[in-house]
Amino acid sequence: MPTYLPIAAYMERESFDPETGDPGILRDEWRVRDVADFAPGALVAAWGPDWRRYKPFASHVLEHRYVRRGVEEPWKPTQSANSEEQALQHIDDKAVALDPYLKELQQLRAQAQEKERREEEEKRRRGGEADERRYHRGRSAEAFKKLLASKDAAWAERWNVWIAAHQSDAARAAAERDPEFMRLHHAAFDAETVPAKRKAIKEFLAYVEGRREFGRFGGLDGLELEDEMSESRTCVRTADGKIACGERIGASARGVMFHGTLVPLPQYARSFLYAWHGGQASAAYSVASRGKGEPETIFRAALELRDDAKAHPSRSKERRELDEMSTYLEALAAQAGYVGAD
């Protein structure tokens, strides 16, 4: 057995003599030895007669000792391992590494811990931002609900009609190419008081209703056929000359939105969408505010919830509930005949 083995790592901290109170240094030291270097019975004395039964492939042993205020204490075996590298992995992360492999191992551990710390920090930041967005969405939605219940409800109804009628990819693309549209849209979306909401909606509708790329009445030419109308039904002539009839949304709405049969939404689903929608421009809000929607709009609402779910940890309650509601809405859209829901 060699009389000297190199120290793999050490750690020092201040220590006081328990009898005199004099200050000093307590030093931890670690080294790795081959099992064959130990005297017969030494490891049995340390770990008991059955240690080989539980560690049949152990070839190395990690030893530790204290150096108390300059006095070296005996080495004691602390951990058996199947290789020298495995034994080094049991050394305290706070120790100063002297062994080259241990130095590299500590660097890799530090990098992994830093990556985990950044990921946790990013997760907290995203969670905080999500809470902030949810707070402002709630204020905005509350202002919109109050506007719907006020004497100026017609403006909220017209907004609902226009937004619900412009859920197509073409309409979204046209909007994204128009900076003024986006500015006015965000202003209406972000307003958190009734006066601000009413003013922003007026400005938005005044802008979009005169622009050809959006269509005056949600992609229809807006020719209402008065003789075909009733209290709950209305018909319009579409751009290709065909007549389409659907449910009226808001008696005071100037524009008439038609996308076929409107699918009713259960109250629990409507309440859920109210809590999680992305604002008045979202498909989720369109469906929640009316309590029903076109199959395509319901499917788009499902996609919005699916995107929201990604901002939450995979096993969180929020993600589970968002995914479950997304699946339900997708199935509802598919049952209503929306071919894009496959």
Q: Where are the alpha helices (DSSP H) in the chain?
A: 42-47, 51-54, 84-88, 100-148, 153-165, 169-176, 179-190, 194-208, 267-276, 283-290, 295-309, 317-335
Position 31 in a domain: yes
Contact status, residue 253 vs residue 161, Cβ threshold 8 Å: yes
The reported pTM is 0.40
* pLDDT over 90 at 16, yes or no: no
pLDDT at 167: 66
* pLDDT over 70 at 180, yes or no: yes
Question: Using the 8-state DSSP alphabet, how is residue 250 labeled?
Answer: -
Among 5-19, 196-210, 239-253, 263-277, the range scoring the smallest mean pLDDT is 239-253
Position 62 in a domain: yes
Position 55 in a domain: yes
* pLDDT over 70 at 246, yes or no: no
Position 68 in a domain: yes
Contact status, residue 32 vs residue 112, Cβ threshold 8 Å: no
Beta partners for 33?
Answer: 61
* pLDDT over 80 at 72, yes or no: yes
pLDDT at 4: 54
Q: Supply the range of the domain harboring residue 25.
A: 9-98
Q: What's phi and psi for 47, nearest 5 deg?
A: -120, -5
Q: How many domains does the chain have?
A: 1
* pLDDT mean across residues, the chain: 79
Contact status, residue 90 vs residue 81, Cβ threshold 8 Å: yes
Position 56 in a domain: yes
* pLDDT over 70 at 118, yes or no: yes
Q: Which residue has the higher pLDDT, 49 or 335?
A: 49
CA distance 64 to 79: 9
Over range 284-302, report the average pLDDT: 87
Position 222 in a domain: no
CA distance 281 to 288: 12
Q: Which residue has the higher pLDDT, 153 or 98?
A: 98
Containing 64, the helix (H) or strand (E) segment is strand 60-68
Position 65 in a domain: yes
The token pair that represents 149 in the structure block? 């219940």
* pLDDT over 80 at 288, yes or no: yes
* pLDDT over 50 at 59, yes or no: yes
* pLDDT over 90 at 64, yes or no: yes
Distance (Å) of CA 52 to CA 41, 55, 61? 12, 5, 12
Position 26 in a domain: yes
The token pair that represents 8 in the structure block? 């793999």
